Chain A
Amino acid sequence: MLPLNPIVVILHKEPQETKARRYQRILEEHLGLQSLVFEDISYESSLEDCPLDEDEDAFQGLGEEDEEIDQFNDDTFGSGAVDDDWQEAHERLAELEEKLPAAVNEQTGNGERDEMDLLGDHEENLAERLSKMVIENELEDPAIMTAVQTRPVLQPQPGSLNSSIWDGSEVLRRIRGPLLAQEMPAVSVLEYALPQRTPQAPEDDRDLSERALPRRSTSPVIGSPPVRAVPIGTPPKQMAVPSFNQQILCPKPVHVRPPMPPRYPAPYGERMSPNQLCSVPNSSLLGHPFPPSVPPVLSPLQRAQLLGGAQLQPGRMSPSQFARVPGFVGSPLAAAMNPKLLQGRVGQMLPPAPGFRAFFSAPPPATPPPPQQHPPGPGPHLQNLRSQAPMFRPDTTHLHPQHRRLLHQRQQQNRNQHRNLNGAGDRGSHRSSHHDHLRKDPYANLMLQREKDWVSKIQMMQLQSTDPYLDDFYYQNYFEKLEKLSAAEEVQGDGPKKERTKLITPQVAKLEHTYKPVQFEGSLGKLTVSSVNNPRKMIDAVVTSRSEDDETKEKQVRDKRRKTLVIIEKTYSLLLDVEDYERRYLLSLEEERPALMEERKHKICSMYDNLRGKLPGQERPSDDHFVQIMCIRKGKRMVARILPFLSTEQAADILMTTARSLPFLIKKDAQDEVLPCLLSPFSLLVYHLPSVTVTSLLQQLMNLPQSAAAPAPSNPHLTAVLQNKFGLSLLLVVLSRGEDLQSSDPAAESTQNNQWTEVMFTATQELLRIPQAALAKPLSIPTNLVSLFSRYVDRQKLNLLETKLQLVQGIR
């Protein structure tokens, strides 16, 4: 009976495990072997033995998962290889890239694991090996760090890579940061990070399972990288134990790393099939004695070649440094991994870590523009947005294969995209200069693509909404307007379609949640716990109404104003709803539409009632209510917006009321000057009014006496109207309408005609009386006024009127 997580089991027993057993286990779980006879392995001879205590069956379970992994790597078992010409390896890599199959569809969820290893399987194996090399805590312990940095070359390997290369502890620390950001811990650079093991590392014999959590605090709140139950450096479940690789580096026994938490990356099946990987054009990979399901093995030489080839930025790692890599004969993985990892890391973020001194001595002077090196590199403008400088292939050995795959896809996509967009419009020159700058910027891309995607993902999540129109009204409206504009332009201009990339916010379905308050068991009665979903009344506030007598005049006035404000607010809400009906109508189903219309009508009626005051009796009450609303700036704007929705009668009523109280309103509007906003809807209305209404309207406006009897000596009403921009404009509009009616329908009823004529006579008299200085400048002057006046006045007076009202263009 196998334990659920065999690795855990092993771990506990780990201290007593023999080296041989450990390797056997590693290989089995890592390489998917059912039973591996270890004795033949040459390595074992150099290893110490420890007593074994485990259940062998446990290993089988592990092994089953990793059937596709390469079993016998020359890296692992054979001797390390001498490095080859990196350029040759690079070319081979280039071929490899072409042949890599398009893997699964890119899943946005896996977007974080976006560093694709172009070498495919080989990197996979490497990655797994790398994972074994990292001992998490060593990276953090400053003592170790310094020790690591100063320590000489790892002993067992002749001519091995200078440990300083490995001293990217700080780099690794940095690497860890962004990696933590991954929600899927599938790929963590740390897991594949440089080995920190030193020959003298005292903690070799430590039980890794007892390792404390990383020193760096990680809070479980969103906004920090996710908390990991196990130390960062723990390898993925399928990845085997680091100790094996550590053995490579240092002969002392090393304990198995703690197991990965269950929330590990995609099961093996999701990875690239080994058959795909077999298509690598490296002859030594084929013809392996092991079953074809097992991916071919790369000899260390080939691996190094591939890795070296992957380094497309010679500036980053000088060939001399690279030559040192394969010197790591005994630790082919390390050898293969190091340059690639560092190169990759270096490509993505070039930290000025002291550990990288060795590297950085070379790169700064020798950093040629990458695009020239790499043929399929995208245009210079790409660099800007691509954190993974596509100019070289980043080291993705450490990455989870799926992550690698996705990254590769994305890179290719972007490359294609940017190639297509190359030279698009204004991008070119600006970008190129910027790209030049970026290219020379050794600190570029400190923030990994993965991290950018992570932040972007969070930001997108924040935009999720069930009803974008409700949550983000202005944004939606703005973009609708933009689109309408561009659509209109397109229709007119018929020019090239400007592709405006629109942000597509994730839409979340509305879920009805019924909240059930928490109930405690064993409590007497119901304990109510107040929460945001279940708020509890905290204050028992009682409203006491004051009696009328107590109030002072001021208070009354204040209260009245407040009541008016409340009415305005309520009416405004109705107005917003009514304005929204059109959109809702379009979105709704057929059955719902009549109901919507009814609602809308009802709301419009309520709005009108609110404006004019409730019907106390038959007659409309005094204009007072309406005038109060109109005294407030918001009220005026609201009336302007409501008018289009009202029926003609209702609107005419409003207009009349306004005309009646216009001087008062003008006085009140002196500070706000909002009345002109009403001109437009009023004008529209006036042009629909019948003659009778127009006549009475004119009378109202000018406060003309009802009878043609002796006019009052002065007409303050009219004066006020004429002195105000809005008033004068409205007057002119009304006059214009009257003229239209007259001219269009000469055979109209005589009574109407007479009335109009009478009114006009009086009107002209009044107008003549008004001194010109008192006139305001109207917003717009209708063109037919001259003809209007010409009917009623003689030539002389007409000229006078013209001058006064500036009706003739020339006078202006």
Chain B
Amino acid sequence: MNYMPGTASLIEDIDKKHLVLLRDGRTLIGFLRSIDQFANLVLHQTVERIHVGKKYGDIPRGIFVVRGENVVLLGEIDLEKESDTPLQQVSIEEILEEQRVEQQTRLEAEKLKVQALKDRDDEATAFS
């Protein structure tokens, strides 16, 4: 049955493996089991995938119910091509560590930037 051709209805995506990107930046991969009109999703055998650089790690999460408004995008995963990735899978601990490191570097860079701006501002006021 061709559900609503030409539209972005999720009905035909049911029972297929999907990658869902959430607004908070998380990436979930799971089988889409159920939807509703708000695009709330029920994901089964969900795995949260953390990407850092060329590495990724999977955290098994079980069943997810995602409120539709928090979804940025989602797409079907081609099971045949799924393993065809240049990315390297690592253990959960490792990826979490990598993520922490990345977060830290980002924060430090941010801090430096803020400091630089502040200094410039101080300079400017000093001259005027």
Contacts and interface: CB of A to CB of B under 8 A. Distances in A.
Do A and B form a real pair?
yes
Contact of B33 (A223, A433, A443): A443
State which size class the interface on B falls in: 20 to 34
B103 interface: no
Interface string A483-511: 00000000000000000111100000000
Interface stretch (B35-43, B83-91, B93-101, B107-115): B35-43
A479 B3 contact: no
A447 B35 contact: yes
Contact of A455 (B35, B42, B80): B35
A395 interface: no
Interface string A424-465: 000000000110011001011111000110011011101000
A774 interface: no
Most buried by B among A443, A459, A502: A459
Nearest to A503: B6
Contacts of A441: 15, 31
Nearest to A437: B79
A479 B7 CA distance: 11
A459 B37 contact: yes
Q: Which of A222, A387, A417, A447 has the most chain B CB atoms closer than 10 A to its own CB? A: A447
Interface string B34-57: 111110001010000000000000
Contact of B9 (A386, A417, A447, A459): A459
A606 interface: no
Interface string A329-346: 000000000000000000
Contact of A414 (B1, B4, B7, B31): B1
Interface of A is mostly: helix
Contacts of B21: none
Contacts, number: 67
A446 B11 CA distance: 12
Nearest to A475: B6
> Chain A CB within 10 Å — which of B9, B42, B44, B80 has the most?
B9
B5 A501 contact: yes
Contacts of A445: 15
A444 B38 contact: no
Q: Do most interface residues of chain B lie in helix, strand or loop, or is the interface mixed?
A: loop
Contacts of A479: 6
B125 interface: no
A386 B11 CA distance: 11
Contacts of A500: 5
Interface string A124-168: 000000000000000000000000000000000000000000000
B71 to A, nearest CB: 16
B12 interface: yes
Contact of B14 (A433, A434, A452): A452
A443 to B, nearest CB: 6
A385 interface: yes
Contacts of A386: 1
Given A387-B14, A433-B79, 7 more contacts: A385-B12, A441-B15, A443-B44, A446-B15, A455-B35, A479-B6, A501-B6
18 contacts: A385-B1, A385-B2, A414-B1, A433-B80, A443-B31, A443-B44, A445-B15, A446-B15, A447-B14, A447-B34, A447-B35, A456-B9, A456-B11, A459-B9, A460-B4, A462-B37, A500-B5, A501-B6
Interface of A: 222-223, 385-387, 414, 417, 433-434, 437-438, 441, 443-447, 451-452, 455-456, 458-460, 462, 475, 479, 500-503
**Can you list the 4 inter-chain pairs with the closest CB atoms, starting with the nearest?**
A501-B5, A458-B37, A447-B34, A503-B6
